């Protein structure tokens, strides 16, 4: 969701802050701002912190920031509204009444009302509707000449989640950051230091980073940094090296990030598979599961914890676990599981799936399962993320940075991870060596199948133009393609704002068929297995009631082509691997519908890339 950037060093802070915020645009926001301490180079009286913040895009903030703005330390923020309307006043950073304390905050302060009432009784006047402003006034109230001590004292009174950065006009060059449930990263430069909610904000300046854990506080100056806990116990930092290049977060000739990421999928899937397929033994090799073969063999059931697109990947994974590894499996919505008083059974393996590794619902559900004695493996994209660090082991999907809010390449990389884990477990149960080798051969062919499917771009664009102005869509699939239908509907909703629903095709006669009319197109994902004929029957039921039908089916399927109003022929492959070829057309269809309607594809309204609050 919201983005944080902090900088202290010899360079012009305002330029680095705005540049960093620009790189965090993909996280989703509705306003942005910076606070910079204008150092008095002559050593005279200190000037107050200069605050500039604007509703709307970073471009509006950039216009308001003077190009020659002085100051070598500052903090910046992109806000995604939770408490209070979207306007300049509620935008971050927030100042205390004296103008000496500036803060930015990601998360939610649950007890802000009681703190606000306490401070108001002491004469403090609040100007915003946010929960975050209370932090600035509380730190100022507790300040006794030591910013780090004041921040720790304030945090001791806060309840909720936070990633914060705080500065004080009386301590030039110092920024204090802390996290509890919302990510914060320290960037270690050459004579300069940075803070950010995401490494993308600092990659132009350093690749050496430290990921803060919950309950940790960091104090940075241009020359050094110190990490400690709330009781002031020093913590020895683990310095990580970011392995990807700045170019990975550039558009590289594509019109937008989503288009680029859709077309990167052959390579991102190859990275997810690379070094993990053991063709000789017909199985896979993992380095991070942290489970012995004996422990894996003892697993009797699987549960997946996820949200949104990751939940759809989990549904595909559960289908694989049951049909191939013969293990009962369920994909759980993380936001529901945590509050359902879940039963954690022995011999059950849990997977927490999250692109960012910071999804609040999934993280909290994972912690609840672990608290009850469950073993949780993470399937994440972001190295060093909280889920990756706190899970009991797991698999990185290596899809590379995903900037567009609507996930595409991370989804197919998550699928690849599930196929690999399924094979590992199937080979420990009933799958023969010969079947394992065949499975790997099919999996190895997936990147090229995806590459061929992407060649349908122009054909899919024409179909999208034809239907883009429809108000409602149904996406229908069966078996392993049912989750892909749900994912297709979600993509269309996310970026085009068209109402769409994903259904199991066999369910349409149990209610959804009442929605069918000439104005409601249905997109069918037709499998090439035992469910093909039943899916075709559902297509005919829609056609009989005047509903337009778009069919995505194996190339050369003349029967499907003769029934459908529009036909998208995907490459032939083993039915178990059709999720890879079927998801590409629904991603492209959503993308081209959004373009036709003039939507902001990379930053759709009301959405955020990483949902770090409940």
Instruction: Enumerate the active-site residues.
Output: 2, 609
Q: CA triplet 111, 114, 118: central angle to 5 degrees?
A: 135
CA distance 378 to 388: 6
Query: Is the bond preceding residue 93 a cis peptide, omega within 30 degrees?
Result: yes
| Contact indicator for 559, 532 with CB cutoff of 8 Å | no
CA distance 398 to 382: 8
| Contact indicator for 394, 429 with CB cutoff of 8 Å | no
| Contact indicator for 354, 362 with CB cutoff of 8 Å | yes
Residue found under tokens 């905050």: 105
- What phi, psi does 50 have (nearest 5°)? -90, 125
- 3-class secondary structure, 449: helix
Alpha carbon separation from 2 to 365, 383, 416, 612 (Å, rounded): 21, 20, 30, 8
Residue 48 has what DSSP assignment? P
Alpha carbon separation from 92 to 86, 220, 223 (Å, rounded): 11, 20, 27
Q: CA triplet 101, 106, 112: central angle to 5 degrees?
A: 70
**Beta-strand relationship, 301-306 and 277-278:** unpaired
Tokens at residue 357, please? Answer: 């590794």
Tokens at residue 379, please? Answer: 């399937």
CA distance 395 to 238: 21
| Contact indicator for 405, 355 with CB cutoff of 8 Å | no
- What phi, psi does 474 have (nearest 5°)? -115, 135
- 3-class secondary structure, 333: strand
Q: With the CA atoms of 156, 166, 228 and 392 taken in that order, what torsion angle do they form, in degrees rounded to the nearest 10?
A: 80
Burial 534-549 (b: 16+ CB within 10 A, else e): ebbebbebbbeeebbb
Strand order in the sheet with 549-554: 499-504, 472-477, 522-525, 549-554, 566-570
**Beta-strand relationship, 301-306 and 329-333:** parallel
CA distance 582 to 172: 56
Nearest by Cα to 419 from 583, 276, 582: 276
Q: Under 8 Å CB-to-CB from 271, ≥6 apart: which residues? A: 398, 399, 400, 413
């Amino acid at each position: 969701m919201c983005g944080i950037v902090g900088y202290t060093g010899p360079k012009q802070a305002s330029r680095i802050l705005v540049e960093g915020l620009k790189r965090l645009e993909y996280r989703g926001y509705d306003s942005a701002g910076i606070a910079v301490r204008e150092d008095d180079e002559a050593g005279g009286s200190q000037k107050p912190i200069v605050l500039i913040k604007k509703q709307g895009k970073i471009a509006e903030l950039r216009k308001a920031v003077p190009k020659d703005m002085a100051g070598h330390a500052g903090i910046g923020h992109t806000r995604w509204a939770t408490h209070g309307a979207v306007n300049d006043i509620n935008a971050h950073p927030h100042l205390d009444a004296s103008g000496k304390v500036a803060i930015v905050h990601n998360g939610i302060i649950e007890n802000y009302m009681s703190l606000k009432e306490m401070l108001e009784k002491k004469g403090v006047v609040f100007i915003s509707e946010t929960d975050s402003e209370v932090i600035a006034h509380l730190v100022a109230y507790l300040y006794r000449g030591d910013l780090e001590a004041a921040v720790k004292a304030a945090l001791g009174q806060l309840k909720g989640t936070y990633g914060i950065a705080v500065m004080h006009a009386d301590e030039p060059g110092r920024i204090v950051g802390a996290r509890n449930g919302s990510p914060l990263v320290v960037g270690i430069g050459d004579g300069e230091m940075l803070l950010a909610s995401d490494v993308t904000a600092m990659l132009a300046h350093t690749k050496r980073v430290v990921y803060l854990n919950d309950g940790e506080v960091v104090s940075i100056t241009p020359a050094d940094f110190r990490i400690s806990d709330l009781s002031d116990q020093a913590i020895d930092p683990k310095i990580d090296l970011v392995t990807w290049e700045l170019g990975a977060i550039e558009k590289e000739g594509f019109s937008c990030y989503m288009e680029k990421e859709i077309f990167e999928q052959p390579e991102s899937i190859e990275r997810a598979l690379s070094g993990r397929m053991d063709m000789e033994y017909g199985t896979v090799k993992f380095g991070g599961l942290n489970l012995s073969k004996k422990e894996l063999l003892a697993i009797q059931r699987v549960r997946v914890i996820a949200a949104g697109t990751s939940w759809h990947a989990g549904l595909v994974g559960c289908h694989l676990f049951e049909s191939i590894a013969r293990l009962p499996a369920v994909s759980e919505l993380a936001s529901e599981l945590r509050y359902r008083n879940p039963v954690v059974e022995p011999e059950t393996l849990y997977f927490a799936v999250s692109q960012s590794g910071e999804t609040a619902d999934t993280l909290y559900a994972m912690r609840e399962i672990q608290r009850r004695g469950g073993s949780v493996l993470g399937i994440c994209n972001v190295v060093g993320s909280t889920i990756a660090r706190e899970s009991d082991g797991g698999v990185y999907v290596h899809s590379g940075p995903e900037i567009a809010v609507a996930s595409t390449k991370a989804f197919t990389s998550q699928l690849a991870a599930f196929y690999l884990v399924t094979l590992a477990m199937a080979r420990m149960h009933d799958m023969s060596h010969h079947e394992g080798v065949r499975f790997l051969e099919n999996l190895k062919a997936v990147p090229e199948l995806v590459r061929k499917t992407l060649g349908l771009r122009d054909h899919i664009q024409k179909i999208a133009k034809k239907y883009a102005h429809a108000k409602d869509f149904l996406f229908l699939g069966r078996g392993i393609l049912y989750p892909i239908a749900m994912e297709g509907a979600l993509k269309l909703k996310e970026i085009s704002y068209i109402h769409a629903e994903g259904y199991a095709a066999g369910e349409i006669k149990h209610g959804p068929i009442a929605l069918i009319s000439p104005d409601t197109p249905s997109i069918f994902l037709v499998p090439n297995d035992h469910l093909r004929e039943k899916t075709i029957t559902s297509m005919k039921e829609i056609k009989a009631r005047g509903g337009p039908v778009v069919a995505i089916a194996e190339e050369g399927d003349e029967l499907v082509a003769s029934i459908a109003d529009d036909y998208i022929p995907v490459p032939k492959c083993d039915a178990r691997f059709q999720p890879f070829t079927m998801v590409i057309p629904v991603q492209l269809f959503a993308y081209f519908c959004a373009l036709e309607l003039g939507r902001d594809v990379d930053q759709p309204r009301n959405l955020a890339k990483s949902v770090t609050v409940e």
